[in-house]
Structure 1
């Protein structure tokens, strides 16, 4: 457990090292942006998504290599409730909800021939981060 606390000092936002699921809410860096009352009434979620901490064992790093994550790595993810469904509130154009990836800093090591290999190091891995509305004018 002491080692988890040491690792946590270097982990990026949305990464928690814990033997059990974190019970804290992840706060995204843009959650503190001030939005005027007038603009707030115009902002609506057009694609449903679910967000929570997920126990992750493997990932894809910034150079497209498959990596094994350190044990008990929890990553905050957001996923589309229904990929490719029409976006809510979008009319007169074609729309579809699309899963988008983002980067998270994780403690990981290479996977070679299906097995973890080498020492752990801090690497950026691709994770599900949001569900966005894609619009096409056909």
Structure 2
């Protein structure tokens, strides 16, 4: 088997709980979702937003609340599904250093100095007893 710390190695795997209560709740929330979407679609086709059927401007607010209920309900469905039916998997990923992303060899990662050893040579030329 591969080393536990290699790229892509599964570090922890816990299977999903798959509870019956969560499944029933998801089904009930899905039925409620269909009702909300149906009411929103009917409200759009009946002209609730422009006030033709209600005679007021409150239909626009009602359609906005229905659309908000659709997305909030969908968020709860996805939250329950992710928590109860997807396994908990941790995969090992190692962060690479910046010079590895630039395809630079390890011995060249510091780069080269402009002028190289010219400053040291100049100091030795001026003062011959200079110690490093």
TM-score (norm 1): 0.21
More strand per residue: 1
Structure number, greater radius of gyration: 2
- TM-score under structure 2 length normalisation: 0.22
Q: Higher helix fraction: Structure 1 or Structure 2?
A: 2
